[in-house]
Amino acid sequence: MIVIMRPQTTQEEINMLKQKIESENDVTVNVINGKECSILGLVGDTTKVDADKIRANEFVENVEKVQQPYKLSNRLFHPDDTVIKVKNASIGGDELAVIAGPCSVESEEQIVKIAQDVKKSGAKFLRGGAFKPRTSPYSFQGLRTRGLDLLKIARQETGLPIVTEIMSADMIDKFVEDVDVIQVGARNMQNFELLKQLGKTNKPILLKRGLSATIQELLMSAEYIMSEGNENVILCERGIRTFETYTRNTLDLSAIPAIKRLSHLPVIVDPSHAAGLWWMVEPLAKAAVAVGADGLMIEVHNDPANAKCDGQQSIKPKVFEQLMNDISKIPGKTIHKAYDTVNV
Amino acid sequence: MIVIMRPQTTQEEINMLKQKIESENDVTVNVINGKECSILGLVGDTTKVDADKIRANEFVENVEKVQQPYKLSNRLFHPDDTVIKVKNASIGGDELAVIAGPCSVESEEQIVKIAQDVKKSGAKFLRGGAFKPRTSPYSFQGLRTRGLDLLKIARQETGLPIVTEIMSADMIDKFVEDVDVIQVGARNMQNFELLKQLGKTNKPILLKRGLSATIQELLMSAEYIMSEGNENVILCERGIRTFETYTRNTLDLSAIPAIKRLSHLPVIVDPSHAAGLWWMVEPLAKAAVAVGADGLMIEVHNDPANAKCDGQQSIKPKVFEQLMNDISKIPGKTIHKAYDTVNV
Amino acid sequence: MIVIMRPQTTQEEINMLKQKIESENDVTVNVINGKECSILGLVGDTTKVDADKIRANEFVENVEKVQQPYKLSNRLFHPDDTVIKVKNASIGGDELAVIAGPCSVESEEQIVKIAQDVKKSGAKFLRGGAFKPRTSPYSFQGLRTRGLDLLKIARQETGLPIVTEIMSADMIDKFVEDVDVIQVGARNMQNFELLKQLGKTNKPILLKRGLSATIQELLMSAEYIMSEGNENVILCERGIRTFETYTRNTLDLSAIPAIKRLSHLPVIVDPSHAAGLWWMVEPLAKAAVAVGADGLMIEVHNDPANAKCDGQQSIKPKVFEQLMNDISKIPGKTIHKAYDTVNV
Amino acid sequence: MIVIMRPQTTQEEINMLKQKIESENDVTVNVINGKECSILGLVGDTTKVDADKIRANEFVENVEKVQQPYKLSNRLFHPDDTVIKVKNASIGGDELAVIAGPCSVESEEQIVKIAQDVKKSGAKFLRGGAFKPRTSPYSFQGLRTRGLDLLKIARQETGLPIVTEIMSADMIDKFVEDVDVIQVGARNMQNFELLKQLGKTNKPILLKRGLSATIQELLMSAEYIMSEGNENVILCERGIRTFETYTRNTLDLSAIPAIKRLSHLPVIVDPSHAAGLWWMVEPLAKAAVAVGADGLMIEVHNDPANAKCDGQQSIKPKVFEQLMNDISKIPGKTIHKAYDTVNV
């Protein structure tokens, strides 16, 4: 960590700050006196040093972090890729993990039929929302616990592990019992109380990046779960909010190689929510594979025009089948090995 | 609501969609056949029409909302300003409501002393975090229920109503009992389960705008609370996330006149969190008053350099006293009356 | 175009506006009287209707455009893909067009050597900056006309057509004589005087998307060039500015299928400038091919650590060779044909 | 400047980089060996050190700038406020400088009448566009040189100095002769060739912040003008591009105290372009004064509904008169003196 002092700060004040930082943290402070201003270099484990507290000092101009503030999710301390096993399937290994299914569970017939269809095309996991976070209180809020029951029927029929979103901590026990992968939605990425409680389970957690979360904040939210003991975290890029309005969000595919470099956790891409346009799912899914994602999360619906939720971004089973076929021709997943090499 | 059809859509397909929309909703559909494409105009109560469902139709290019999707928070149906009374104070009336106090409650001595100081300078409410949403699990997480107890002592000593943040629905009963205004933080603005539960209480809720929430989304979150029966919602602008990194967030003061036009709910400004820089609190607070805010939320700490949280954005009691003095000279609060007039 | 009137606007005022719009434009206005507000639907060629002028009316709440405001670049009026031929090469056809070379031309030896290297690996065009737009006046500003001379030597040695950036209209004659493709940089995307002057030439123009330009604004800037008579415009996605700071900009790969749907112009991707990190060029270039881009623009330098400009994002010739090899295995370019089909 | 090395970099490589940096720049490099990585602290005049070049080194993780990269516009080297005199008026002194007038000059009658009206209400400068940067080539492009002639007539009639936008370097001689303050629009903020040419004149330059320009980039563009010899630069905040669409741009009022701290140059606010909504001009103008701006730039039109450009954001002369009256009651301009004090 680097502390940049304001110009004209006296050596006395610098020394006082140096002593204060050293007394409160397990670090050594090196002082470099520059031409216009001095800087302090903190050496040691700075993960737990509170930068804002130092910034509150009147003579401090700014504080820059050198070390990443996350430990458990940091590739530096865990060089090998994490592979998360879920029943017969896995996320993070050599094989691309494809999660597919409708935005929301609507009926037994619907979810079972779609589950069978996506399984046939090669999906390894079934998604389906039971509890739905909707911007409007007047929109369909999901079948809730009845939705979980229907997902279980679909799992029984197909053997596909189920992935579904949790919206409040009071449902954790039920989700742990019923569900294979618990999803935390973008809007709850910094619902820290929920993250902490999920950290006390041992279920795989699919953590979606918040609409305006930086990559570092996403990793810090993973850290919340991991620091409570649950290291089974899968990250998911699903578009960030920008000024561009043609797509609902802007899919940030650069986040995949970035996360691969910074962390050992698996990371997948959700092209359906990113664009919010069904006809973009195909090219964006291909790009996600090419960029090195560990998996995809795709919305598939047998009747998008009558879907209770997000039909505009759902593809039909036949389009999904074609997509799975196309994707199989794209070399992916080995790409990030290149990052270890130098630019020769 | 306007539905824009794709070019070359046939009249038959247009008619089918028209009939479908009319059969599923309480609206009349008017068709306008344009040169390159046709548009459908939906007349009636379109608040509950699901735009995404229509967008899922293959022949639909786009759907534009004409009517605002919120009702209870909409000024159109409630022209007069809402004034929320909290003990002897109120928010939304003629007087500027100033909420002040430390980022987090640290000790009885600290919170009582600051409460006395800010009261002396004219603050009408005491703020102080007991449960703290921190980006890092390794940062100070607040004194939690012990913090609530200390806030109650400070209230007893000063008579100031207390404002503090809730982070999970399981604490609602305790907050209803202990606290005067329950704050929902920016990161929980779309924690819909929490909002619904808060809607079942009758406590005033201070709802902060999410880092990447549009003004409309903020009003939709207010609608979540109000649609459950609790109409005591106070909105708070606290900066949005942009590309500019000099300030922590970018304070969007345009949101104040915008919200005043769109909604009858009171809206206040938090300049401390917006900038994240103590020396900007003063000019931004003045601007907030001049732009027509109903109140301010200011972080005040007697020893910022040793604050456990956000010291870099806290001002000292003497600076706060000076600020309150300066603010009293700025004409505010009546400004938005101008919006009813036409541009003459 | 749709005009949304303010609530409670009288029929008389609506009729006056209808007549005014019809008298000033070649359109017919349809009035739909809604429950809370009325809307006007404008039918005819609305490309030239000034939405802002209508918005200036006191009784108008908002104006929504239905028709795209661009004509010459619009796929609606020009369904087939435009292919731009440059000497033996072309951009927009079946073959991926790869433009490669250093950020800036530094010496004859440097540019000739890199040109030979990238040609050997399969690049079809040589890039190299002679006039450099730098954020700081104290940074290297390019070899300017001397740089153009060196590019010509490299072209003579390799036969590769040259692509280089123009920064002011007074250099157009020289560029037309010396250069094969004239690049307009992101910072000049809305330098409308420059665009107009380039529209009077018949040189292919490579138009880079501005840092905060929407896709529509990019197409409007293409329209500036085309409306003066030059239809040889190639678009380039090179990252947009967002809140994420890990990468220099956020590469918006969704823009490729979006542009393919909206326009017939070819569109390429520059992964080097987008990320600003050499080790991200490889995965992002692969993703760009998979998403359906017509070409790539890649910075290659034989000695990045001593490059006069942007060395941190340049890959070495051997890495480029490997990249070209990898890219050849990715199916691309046919992807956008899917957009014509419906979601079956 | 701080150079953060990648983890596990050897001392040999660190020493080689240290020597290289010292040999190429007039700085001393201090090495701090941290637990996980080492950092280099560069001491000396780092303004001209090329951070990107260092970043290109394979063993470098990142480079952080400590010193601001601008010198001439930097308050550190020029503590007193710059006051720019234009005829009888000035910008940057004790008095608020108000520039008012129509978006575009339309006729002699129009510009003279508005000039008289705004002068009567207290404006000190007349604005009016002759060359108009429009997103669409099909929109009104301004009266061009005829517009300059009309502005001169209005100046003769009222004595108000005139402010108008330049769009290309070939017009500089004419602007120097005809105009009192030359405006560089947001879209040309990084048209570096234009900036350099303007730096060779001695006319006051009003430099508007680009839509996605950081405060630092704005100051670097000022530096381009100043480094050529023209120190008469006035900065203008006019809204930045964010995800919020209710307003056209988001006015960043935090930029005013930030610029006041970082630079000695005067800075004004344009609330008309920021919001793009006439009824927001009033509250935002008041906020701009309260936050400490040196002046305002306001669009005033006598017939907004028939304005050839931007009528939706123009206020009528009577509204402007009322605004000037209201503004006179807001204490401003002395605010930034507080920034020198510490938080006591």
Per-residue pLDDT reduced to its tens digit, A185-230: 999 999 999 999 999 999 999 999 999 999 999 999 999 999 999 9
For testing contact with chain C, the best of A216, A244, A281, A320 (most C CBs within 10 A): A244
**What is the mean predicted confidence (pLDDT) over B259-265?**
96
CA distance C336 to A282: 9
Contacts D2 to A, Cβ<8 Å: 2, 39, 64, 66
Is residue A56 over pLDDT 90?
Answer: no
Q: What is the pLDDT of residue D61?
A: 86
DSSP summary character for residue B2: E
User: Mean of the pLDDT values across residues A310-333?
Assistant: 90
Q: Is residue D331 part of a domain?
A: yes
Q: Are residues A55 and A89 in the same domain?
A: no
Q: Which of B48, B304, B311 sits opposite A138 (nearest CB)?
A: B48
| Mean pLDDT calculated for residue range D204-208 | 98
Among A14, A31, A64, identify where a domain stops.
Answer: A64
User: How high is the mean pLDDT of chain A?
Assistant: 92
Residues of A with CB under 8 A from a CB of D: 2, 4, 7, 30, 32-37, 39, 41, 43-45, 58, 64, 66-67, 76, 212, 241-243, 245, 342-343
Distance separating alpha carbons of residues D170 and C172, to the nearest angstrom: 13
Domain match, D45 and D125 both: no
Q: Chain B residues with CB inside 8 Å of C7's CB?
A: 76
- Is beta strand A38-44 parallel, antiparallel or unpaired with respect to A2-5? antiparallel
- DSSP H helices in chain D: 11-24, 51-55, 108-121, 145-158, 172-178, 192-199, 215-226, 255-262, 271-275, 278-291, 317-327
Residues D105, D238, single domain; the answer is: yes
C69 in any annotated domain: no
Q: What is the CATH number of the domain that holds A252?
A: 3.20.20.70
- Is residue A204 assigned to a domain? yes
Q: What is the pLDDT of residue C333?
A: 64
| Confidence tier at C343 by pLDDT (50, 70, 90) | low
Residue A69 domain flag: no
pLDDT above 50 (res D336): no
- The model's pLDDT over C212-249, given as tens digits with 9 standing for 90+, comes to 999 999 999 999 999 999 999 999 999 999 999 999 99
Could you tell me what percent of chain D has a pLDDT over 70? Answer: 96
Residues of chain C in contact with residue D52, where contact means CB-CB under 8 angstroms, are 309-312
Contact D220 C137 (CB under 8 A): yes
User: Chain C contacts of A288, Cβ < 8 Å?
Assistant: 287
Tokens standing for residue D297: 């730039």
Both B90 and B221 in one domain: the answer is yes
C153 and C117 within one domain: yes
Same domain, B34 and B129: no
Residue C253 DSSP symbol: T
Lowest mean pLDDT among D42-51, D98-107, D188-197, D268-277: D42-51
Q: Which of B219-228, B260-269, D50-59, D234-243 has the lowest mean pLDDT?
A: D50-59
Which residue among A168, A211, A228 places its CB closest to the CB of B169?
A168
Residue D340 has pLDDT above 50, yes or no: no
Q: What is the distance in angstroms between the Cα of D334 and the nearest Cα belonging to chain A?
A: 22
Say if residues C102 and C299 touch (Cβ distance below 8 Å): yes
Dist. CA C302–CA C305, nearest whole Å: 9
Cα separation of B98 and B91, whole Å? 9
The residue with tokens 């809402």 is B82
Mutate to test the interface with D, among C23, C49, C168 (most CBs of D within 10 A): C168
CA-CA distance, B8 to C260, in Å (whole number)?
Answer: 18
Which residues in chain B have their CB less than 8 angstroms from residue A220's CB? 135-137
Please determine, for residue C130, whether its predicted confidence score (pLDDT) is greater than 90. Answer: yes
pLDDT greater than 90 at residue C57: no
A53 and B306 within 8 Å at the Cβ level: the answer is yes
Query: Do B137 and A224 make contact, defined as CB atoms within 8 angstroms?
Result: yes
Closest CA to D311 of D269, D270, D276, D274: D276
Tell whether the model's pLDDT for residue B276 goes beyond 80. Answer: yes
- B244: chain D residues, CB-CB within 8 Å: 214-215, 240, 252, 255
C-alpha torsion D62→D66→D70→D72, nearest 10: -160
Number of structural domains chain D divides into? 2
Model confidence at A265: pLDDT above 70: yes
Report which of residues B136 and C37 the model is more confident about.
B136
Q: Which residues of B touch C215 (CB under 8 A)?
A: none
Contact (CB<8Å) D137/C304: no
Of the candidates B34, B41, B242, the beta carbon closest to that of C32 is on B41
- Give the rounded percent of residues in chain C with a pLDDT score beyond 70: 96
pLDDT of residue D49: 87
Across the interface, which of A250, A339, A344 has its CB nearest the CB of C250? A250
Residues in chain C with CB shorter than 8 Å from the CB of D308 are 53
D136 plus D187 within the same structural domain: yes
Task: Tell me the pLDDT band of A342, cut-offs 50, 70 and 90.
Answer: low
Judged against a pLDDT cut of 80, whether residue C79 lies above it is answered with: yes
Provide the pLDDT for residue A343: 62
Crossing angle between the packed helical segments A192-199 and A215-227, to the nearest 10 degrees: 40
Exposure string (b/e) for A139-173, b if CB count within 10 Å is 16 or more? bbbbbeeebbebbeebbebbebbbbbbbbbbebbe
- Which structural domain range is residue C45 located in? 2-64
In this complex, the residue of D252, D279, D331 whose CB is nearest that of residue B330 is D331
Is residue B341 scored above 50 in pLDDT? no
Task: Dig out the tokens for D97 from the structure.
Answer: 């400088």
Task: Determine which of C49, C66, C216, C343 to mutate to test the interface with B (most B C-beta atoms within 10 Å).
Answer: C66
Q: Which residues of A252-285 are buried (b: 16+ CB within 10 A; e: fewer)?
A: bbbbbbbbbbbbbbbbbbbbbbbbbbbbbbbbbb
CA-wise closest residue to B43 among B59, B66, B74: B66
Identify the residue whose tokens are 């000039």: D115
Interchain pair B290, D275: CB under 8 A? no
Q: What is the mean pLDDT of residues C47-51?
A: 84
Which among A302, A301, A307, A299 has a CA at the least distance from the CA of A98?
A: A299
The CA distance from B114 to B111, in Å, is 5
The pair of structure tokens assigned to B218 is 């903020």
Q: Domain boundary at B18, B45, B64, which?
A: B64
pLDDT at D48: 80
Which of chain D's residues have a Cβ under 8 Å away from the Cβ of C192? 133-134, 137, 167, 187
Segment (H or E) for B118: helix B108-121
Q: Is residue C230 one of the residues assigned to a domain?
A: yes
Distance from CA of B315 to the nearest CA of D (A): 6
Query: Strand order of the sheet with strand C38-44?
Result: C27-33, C38-44, C2-5, C60-64
The pLDDT tens digits of the residues spanning B239-257 come to 999 999 999 999 999 999 9
> pLDDT tens digit string along C301-314?
999 988 888 888 99
Record: contact D261-B244, CB cut-off 8 A: no
In a domain, D293, yes or no: yes
pLDDT reading at B337 higher than 50 = no
- CB-CB neighbors (< 8 A) of B2 in chain C: 2, 39, 64, 66
pLDDT digits (tens, 9 = 90+) for B200-209: 999 999 999 9
User: Considering only C188-192, D30-34, D295-299, which range has the smallest mean pLDDT?
Assistant: D30-34
Residue B327 covered by a domain: yes
Q: How far is CA C278 from CA C274, C313, D10, D56, in A?
A: 10, 4, 21, 8
Average pLDDT value for chain D: 92
Q: Which is higher by pLDDT, C185 or D59?
A: C185
Q: What was the pLDDT predicted at B335?
A: 37
In this structure, is residue A323 part of a structural domain? Answer: yes
pLDDT number for residue D47: 79
Task: Mark whether C31 and C80 lie in a shared domain.
Answer: no
Predicted pLDDT at A333: 64
Q: Which of B259, B254, B246, B253 is nearest to B271 (CA)?
A: B253
Per CB-CB distance under 8 Å, the chain B contacts of D278 are: 343
- Looking at CA atoms only, how far is residue D131 from chain C in angstroms? 10
pLDDT band for position A47 (50/70/90)?
A: confident
- pLDDT over 70, % of chain B: 96
Query: Domain containing D33 — which CATH number?
Result: 3.30.70.1140
Name the minimum distance, in Å, from the CA of D20 to any CA of chain B: 31
Question: Min CA distance, A243 vs chain C (Å)?
Answer: 7
D283, D329, D338 ranked by CB distance to B257: nearest: D283
Q: Which helix (H) or strand (E) holds A148?
A: helix A145-158
What is the DSSP-derived secondary structure letter of residue A8? T
Q: Identify from D5, D104, D138 which residue to disrupt to test chain C contact, counting C C-beta atoms within 10 A and taking the largest count.
A: D138
Same domain as A179, residue A132: yes
Residues D109 and D53 in one domain: no
If asked whether residues B18 and B83 sit together in one domain, one would say: no
In chain D, whose CA is at the least distance from the CA of B259? D246
- Residue from A27, A32, A212 whose CB has the most chain D CBs within 10 Å, to mutate: A32
B contacts of D246 (beta carbons < 8 Å)? 214-216, 254-255, 258
How far C4 CA sits from the closest chain B CA (Å)? 7
Q: What is the pLDDT of residue D342?
A: 54
Residues D84 and D159 in one domain: yes
β-pairing verdict for A181-184 and A205-208: parallel
Helix (H) / strand (E) element for D99: namely strand D97-101
Of B32, B36, B64, the CB nearest to C67: B36
Contacts of B4 in chain C (CB under 8 A): 66
ipTM comes to: 0.92
Q: At which of A20, A35, A64 does a domain end?
A: A64
pLDDT band at D338 (very low <50, low <70, confident <90, very high): very low
More confident residue, B54 or C127: C127
Chains in contact with A via at least 3 Cβ–Cβ pairs below 8 Å: B, C, D
Residue B333 identity: K
Question: CA quadruple B148, B151, B157, B158: dihedral positive or negative?
Answer: negative
pLDDT at residue B7, rounded to an integer: 84
pLDDT, residue A45, reads 81
User: What rounded mean pLDDT belongs to chain C?
Assistant: 92
Alpha-carbon gap: D191 to the closest alpha carbon of chain C (Å) = 6
